[in-house]
Amino acid sequence: MQRFENLKIRPYEQKKCPSCGSRITKRNGTRDGKQLYKCMVCGRQFRAGETVTDSELWTLYQANKQTVVELAAIVGKSPSTIKRRLRGITIEWEQPRLDGMCGYVHLDVTYWGRNWGVLLALDDATGRPLYIAFVRHETVADYVLAVETITRMGYTIRGIVIDGMRSLFDMFGGVYRTQMCQFHMRSIVDRYLTRNPRLKAAVALKELMGRLAVMDKDEFGKEFSKWKEDWAHTLNRRTVSKRTGKSHYTHKRLRTAMNSVVYYQPYLFTYQEKGCEGMPNTNNKVEGVFTDLKKNLNNHGGMGEAGRKRFISGFFLALEGCPIVKEKKEKRLPPE
């Protein structure tokens, strides 16, 4: 009996069910030489050995950009099993508290197709997502809700950087210091003039807009006023319609481009005003986040709307630094 005195008998450790998390399991035979177990709570049968948690599986899927087929090879499961587990993962965006935060906010929407997109509010200094919402079409109400939400959560807005959508400037221009993205301003002008305009007045305006980022407010104002004076004859030229006999401006697209610059001019150099030190003059930071998001999504073709929402929520939760997947709690049998 002395030889058994130092023998440590380890009690049987019940395996944890990978589906429901319960440890109320039992041995259930073998397959291919590996022990099988059965969960007495949910009825799931699983193999012995370590299993990949939902959190680890999602990290491989999203951050490591592994496809379903690649995940199946890594985990040692069938692609259908991987798809089932991914569908079973619940990920939803949770609006974070923003107490004590202060800075400049980027606001923008990106779309997949024409009728589905995501609105993002992003902190310029940290790149932290402050707010996201899934939208069919962007409206002023969506942006107002975003601003109201982040302020209610404790964020102090020093200024807002947005692009296009004139009604937003009417809404926020008198409340916050608002900067029009200079890159989008150039894009708006290019949309009307084309990238290679032939009209001399259009060439001159395009050249002026190309120097927008290296000019100050006064310099741009003088050169733009001079451009309007130099090309007043071209801008005001009218053509009489042979069909109706009515006259209209000959160079409508040139005038539309000019009018766009006139409207946005008060918001093009907000970043140069006193008290706006550090304010960006473009929305490049939020555009970079959208580019990274779409690159990640492109690895997983054929994703439905529910899967896309889950993926996008997980992407921004990862940027936020929050736990993406909450592990399931162990289920207990009810007392008899």
Which of 58-72, 106-120, 266-280, 314-328 is predicted with the least confidence, judged by mean pLDDT? 314-328
Convert the pLDDT of each residue in 84-126 to its tens digit: 888 888 888 989 999 999 999 999 999 998 899 999 999 999 9
Judge residue 71's burial from the number of C-beta atoms within 10 Å of its C-beta, 0-12 exposed, 13-18 middle, 19 or more buried.
buried
User: Length of the chain in residues, anyone?
Assistant: 336
Q: Is residue 190's pLDDT more than 80?
A: yes
Cβ(316)–Cβ(96) below 8 Å: no
Label residue 14 by pLDDT band (50, 70, 90).
Answer: confident
Average model confidence (pLDDT) across the chain: 88
CA distances from 274 to 66, 270, 278, 279 (A): 48, 9, 11, 11
Q: What sections of the chain are H helices per DSSP?
A: 54-62, 68-75, 79-88, 140-152, 166-172, 182-193, 200-210, 217-230, 232-236, 252-264, 284-298, 305-320
CA pair distance 235, 39, nearest whole angstrom = 79
DSSP three-state, residue 311? helix
Convert the pLDDT of each residue in 261-286 to its tens digit: 999 999 999 999 999 999 999 999 99
CA pair distance 295, 309, nearest whole angstrom = 15
Cβ(159)–Cβ(172) below 8 Å: no
Whole-model pTM: value is: 0.80
Q: Please give the CATH architecture assigned to the domain spanning 95-181+282-302.
A: 2-Layer Sandwich (3.30)
Domain regions of the chain by residue span:
95-181+282-302, 182-276
Kindly state the DSSP code that residue 97 receives in the 8-state scheme. P
CA distances from 183 to 27, 112, 163, 190, 280 (A): 64, 22, 9, 11, 11
Q: Is residue 13's pLDDT more than 70?
A: no
**Residue 129, beta-bridge partner list:** 122
Nearby residues of 145 by Cβ (< 8 Å), 6 or more positions away:
133
Determine the longest span between alpha carbons in the chain, in angstroms.
119
